[in-house]
Amino acid sequence: MRWSKEQYLEYMGQKKPKKSKYSNKKSVVDGITFDSKKEAEYYCSLKLLKRAGIVKEIELQPKFILQEKFKKNGKTHRAITYIADFKVTYADGKVEIVDVKGMETDVFKLKKKLFEYQYPDLSLKVVK
């Protein structure tokens, strides 16, 4: 009996890698895996700005709490969080939060509104 690659993987209990929901291809730069090629390219542009002295610091995947966890009727509800792609601190002290998006989902639009309300002093830049 001759098996196809798919049959063999199924028999061995392995699964083929899932296709990304938005057809993004993961990219690796400096040993860091990014969710999309566009995000990796943006990181490279930030590195150039850092080398030029325009950017002071680049933080990857900064996490922000949009709503604290709470208890109601004995049940604990998890906090609502938002994880951006980058937190960029410029040489002049300005801080910018950056999210690289191919498509803005309804969940992202809602979290963006909550972020803008919760963190009025921070600027959220969406790169498409």
Looking at per-residue confidence, does 18 or 58 come out higher? 58
For residue 2, what pLDDT band results from cuts at 50, 70 and 90? confident
Residues 6+ apart with CB under 8 A from 118: 64, 65, 66, 67
| pLDDT band at residue 15 under the 50/70/90 scheme | low
- At 40-53, the pLDDT tens digits run 999 999 999 999 99
User: Is residue 82 within 8 Å of 63, Cβ to Cβ?
Assistant: yes
Does 27 have pLDDT greater than 60? Answer: yes
Euclidean distance between the first and the last CA atom of the chain, given in angstroms as a whole number? 50
What pLDDT, on a 0 to 100 scale, did the predictor assign at position 30? Answer: 87
Instruction: Decide: 124 and 116 in contact? Cβ < 8 Å.
Output: yes
Looking up tokens 């830049």 gives 125
Asked if residues 27 and 16 have their Cβ atoms less than 8 Å apart, the reply is no
CATH 3.40.1350.10 fits 22-127, yes or no: yes
**pLDDT band at residue 127 under the 50/70/90 scheme:** very high
Q: CA nearest 115: which of 91, 94, 99? A: 99
Q: What is the mean pLDDT of residues 58-66?
A: 98
**Complete DSSP assignment for 51-68:** HTTSEEEEEES-EEEEE-
> Looking at the predicted structure, is the pLDDT value of residue 19 above 60?
no
pLDDT of residue 102: 85
